[in-house]
Chain A
Amino acid sequence: MTGATTGVTAGGGRTRRALLRTLFGLGALGGTAAALAPLVRADRAARTRTVDPPAPGARPYREAVEETYRGRHISIRPSAGVATTGPAAYRPGVHPGVPADDVLVDGRPLKLMRRADGGWMSVVNHFESFPTPLAAARAAVDDLHGARLSLDGPMLHHA
């Protein structure tokens, strides 16, 4: 199809995207930020299928983790206060999700995101989710095969 700009150029494309984003309403679920506290909100559970509980022994997100897994250091430090996902935290061009600084692999941020069933996904694997942030981080270590996470990929901020 012809006509629409690709957004390739910096000026018009970005402005249009920002406008479209505003129009499309980030606010439908303004309360989503609180969804990170319990794994399943009661009202969502009523509307959707039940969510698998975390695996036995899995730590909830609120607890800090420091571990060495397959020679790589995983650090999980939950954000103080209310999690900053949702409309208030959405910046144009930034990949949506959990604050990246919360989970580090060898000191570098691993961006995590939530799936509707309560699962966790990372930027390393966009096609599978895991029951806890730690499980997602370990899976990321498995799939990184020793590579270092980027400090300035498009998932983290816009150049």
Chain B
Amino acid sequence: MYTRKNQRDLTGAEKKSFVNAVLELKRRGHYDEFVRTHVEFYTPDGESGLRSGHMAPTFFPWHRRFLLEFEGALRSVDPGVSLPYWDWTKDNTPAAALWGDDFLGGTGRSRDQQVMTGPFAYRSGNWTVRDNVTDDPFLTRDLGRPGRDPIVLPTVRELESAMKRPVYDVAPWDSTPTKGFRNGLEGWVKPGVDQPWRNHNRVHRWVGGDMLGAASPNDPVFWLHHAFVDLLWDRWQARHPKAGYLPAKKLPAGDPQSGRVISLHEPMPPWNVTPSAMLGHAKTYRYA
């Protein structure tokens, strides 16, 4: 059993080990497989087809499993490495140590959003983006979108509006519910409101660049963001101990979401793993 630490508590050596393990996975071609998997398993709720990673109750267990797979790959390079998490309610400016040259590097330059600093800058020679929305080979960011209409990261209050919700998720189990923890944290709100994203979705928007699009894992901050999302699921479970993953049972054939939403004991693609198997992780890792 190993520990996932808050990124602000990592030592210089730990940051270096983490970065080196990520770069090695990239060098081997393995990193980009994870990007492709994430793209493949994003089915929006206005399309038919099974939803696994997003706009669905499996948002949490799917990403938990996805992160475990990535972390396993990192640990096959260096067994001492684990995923750090990024608490964006606290480390919420581009000046945070997270964005230092010794860690993830900083925001993109204004001309083309290209990240010019840190180990994941294209010009370092070790991070070429291949499976991407654009044909730019360089990583892009636009932290806080400072030009027009700036954004702030989710506040403790915004997060609390999700964490206090007593029910895990509600029908129709997609991006439309205004109740339920899952969509409160995933962060879909009605379009037309000012800054129509909350919590998880807002963070993707705040980072901008590649993190905004279909191929968001091209930015390694993806893993630190989702590690915190994973921790938040732990915290929510601890706070609402009588609440469980929903839907608990397979949706009946007449339900409009039948075949599109995965219930507690049904397997999540691409693995043969059910949400029920992903509810906890005490035997594998803990959060510090």
- Known contacts: A48-B172, A124-B212, A143-B208. The answer to whether A26 contacts B191 by CB under 8 A is no
B50:A26 contact, CB within 8 angstroms: yes
B133:A123 contact, CB within 8 angstroms: yes
| Complex interface: chain A residues within 8 A of B65 (CB) | 1
Most chain B CB neighbours (cut-off 10 Å) among A85, A145, A149: A145
| Complex interface: chain B residues within 8 A of A29 (CB) | 48, 256, 259-260
Interface size class of B (residues with CB under 8 A): 35 or more
Of the candidates B30, B46, B192, B273, which one forms a contact with A114 in the assembled complex, judged by CB atoms under 8 Å apart? Answer: B46
In angstroms, how far is the closest chain A Cβ from the Cβ of B69? Answer: 6
- Known contacts: A7-B37, A113-B46, A116-B176. The answer to whether A123 contacts B213 by CB under 8 A is yes
- Known contacts: A16-B270, A116-B175, A127-B204. The answer to whether A147 contacts B134 by CB under 8 A is yes
Q: Nearest A residue to B260 by beta-carbon distance? A: A28
Binary contact track A1-35/B, C-beta < 8 Å → 1, others 0:
11010111000010011001100111111101001
In angstroms, how far is the closest chain A Cβ from the Cβ of B246? Answer: 18
Q: Nearest A residue to B138 by beta-carbon distance? A: A147
A4:B272 contact, CB within 8 angstroms: yes
Q: How many angstroms from the CA of A121 to the CA of B196 in the assembled complex?
A: 13
B40 within 8 A of A: yes
| Complex interface: chain B residues within 8 A of A2 (CB) | 72
A126:B214 contact, CB within 8 angstroms: yes
A52 within 8 A of B: yes
B214:A8 contact, CB within 8 angstroms: no
Q: How many angstroms from the CA of A126 to the CA of B132 in the assembled complex?
A: 13
B191:A129 contact, CB within 8 angstroms: yes
A116:B49 contact, CB within 8 angstroms: no
Interface size class of A (residues with CB under 8 A): 35 or more
In angstroms, how far is the closest chain A Cβ from the Cβ of B178? Answer: 9
Q: Nearest A residue to B216 by beta-carbon distance? A: A126
Q: How many angstroms from the CA of A35 to the CA of B190 in the assembled complex?
A: 20
B201 within 8 A of A: yes
A133 within 8 A of B: no
Q: Which candidate, A59-67, A71-79, A86-94, is the interface stretch facing chain B?
A: A86-94
B47:A86 contact, CB within 8 angstroms: yes
B191:A117 contact, CB within 8 angstroms: yes
B135:A147 contact, CB within 8 angstroms: yes
26 A-B pairs (CB sep. < 8 Å) = A1-B273, A4-B273, A17-B40, A20-B269, A20-B270, A25-B50, A26-B49, A47-B172, A49-B176, A95-B39, A96-B42, A97-B47, A123-B133, A123-B213, A123-B214, A124-B133, A125-B212, A127-B205, A128-B196, A130-B191, A147-B136, A147-B140, A148-B135, A150-B134, A150-B135, A154-B40
Which residues does B use to contact A, with CB under 8 Å?
30, 33, 35-37, 39-40, 42-50, 54-55, 65, 68-69, 72-73, 112-113, 131-136, 140, 142, 172, 174-176, 187, 190-192, 196-197, 201-202, 204-205, 208, 212-216, 256, 258-260, 267, 269-273, 277-278, 284
